[in-house]
Amino acid sequence: MHRSAAKRLLHYSFFCANRTSPIRTPLHSSPLRFLSSEPPFSDFNTRTSTTHHHHDTSHTHTHTDTSRTRRTTPTTPPRATYEEEQTRVLAASLHHVIRLGWSEAAMIAGARDVAVSPSIVGAIPRKEAALVEYFMDECLQKLIDMIDSDELQLKDLVASERIAKLIKARLQMQAPYISKWPQALSIQAQPSNISTSFKQRAMLVDEFCHASNDEGSGVDWYLKRSIVGGIYSTTEIYMLTDNSTDFDDTWVFLNERVRDAFDLKKTFQEVKYFAEAVGAGLGTSLQGFTKKGC
């Protein structure tokens, strides 16, 4: 199955990949030369003394220097990169969202959970937005995994049933955070975050349509995604006010919206004609406005 949605990386990266070329050291010198108990110029002092004393002293020093060269640095496990630490903090922060909301306080608590200095939170751009966007990316990846593993069993379903099942599976992921989800929507709607939020939702809707075996093109391609996106958003808002057990009323609402929208012989065609008419009218209006402006 074509995969058009992929896990978005975080928008911040402070360090490059691990160095591939080690630091060079001069030939015939010890890498731990200046970590020994002898002063840095002990070789020069010893060689000078051998010119006035016995030859055996030079031999003894050479033997000592060789043994020092054979010393090796103990191996230590590589330290996690800064970006990896940020990802760990964001993942741990989700456990505190229910109590602290999508906030910097939740991120600081998450940093402490994974034994990372809370100061790392200060280096994360758009802190609360980064936490919401991380959650959205994780949910998208989880949905993709469910589709690829056939956990949702979509093969024997028609397109409308697939869409309903996909939207339900995705919305169930944010059910544990429902009391704090209005805050998340508010964060996504902020001017500095709206672009990323739109892209994430577009990728989600695109995944819905691909998983439902949508092969539309042209106007139909855009219309179907607009309709599916509308169904998802309206169901998401309805879910915020649903007090029924296990959000049963929300799923009834979802199924009704999908059934109304997926009358492929009528609804899409009517919407297509409507959109074409609106587009034609908009073009005429713009031409008239331009002429008036001139």
pLDDT for the residue 86: 93
Cβ–Cβ < 8 Å for 201, 133: no
pTM for the predicted model, two decimal places: 0.65
d(CA 106, CA 128): 9
pLDDT for the residue 278: 54
Q: In 3D, which of 142, 140, 131 has the Cα closest to residue 184?
A: 131
Report CA-CA distances (Å) from 184 to 136, 141, 166, 174, 178.
10, 19, 21, 11, 10
pLDDT for the residue 162: 95
Over its C-alpha atoms, the chain yields an Rg (Å, rounded) of 31
Q: Please, what is the Cα angle at 178 between 174 and 181, to 5 degrees?
A: 90
pLDDT for the residue 207: 95
Which residue positions in the chain have pLDDT lower than 70? 1-80, 214-219, 263-294
Q: What is the pLDDT of residues 181-219, one digit of tens each?
A: 999 999 999 999 999 999 999 999 999 999 988 666 666
pLDDT for the residue 216: 62
